[in-house]
Amino acid sequence: MAIRIVPDVVAPLTVTGVDLITEATAPTWNEWASYLMAGGGYLGAAMGWGGDFIKTIGIASFPWAAKKLYDRVKGGAGASRRLSFKRAPVSQRWPAPSNEPPFGAGRLV
């Protein structure tokens, strides 16, 4: 079987290009672009839209989307920590320390 240029070469290059461009220009949209490309590729393939190009877009972007989803659930770098558990820091301000030593102004008579 021969390599077909558009589905086998251009589709993975498109996914890589979108990943690099969104990471450089709009890092907050990088994660959502991965979900959109993977979901859109698989949905388009299931509905029969776009042929092999759209199917290969979904297949090529699935590892990217899976990594972003894993980072979001784990709470790793680059992802939101909403879904991960993090203990609240203990405040050390209360009770506040005294500015003068205790009984510093008192005198023994």
Q: What is the pLDDT along the chain (109 residues), one digit of tens a residue?
A: 888 999 999 999 999 999 999 999 999 999 999 999 999 999 999 999 989 999 999 999 999 999 999 998 887 555 445 555 566 666 555 666 666 666 666 777 7
- Report the chain's C-alpha Rg in angstroms: 27
pTM, rounded to two decimals: 0.65
Cα torsion through 32, 7, 55, 62, rounded to 10: -40
The sign of the torsion formed by the CA atoms of 70, 32, 13, 46 equals positive
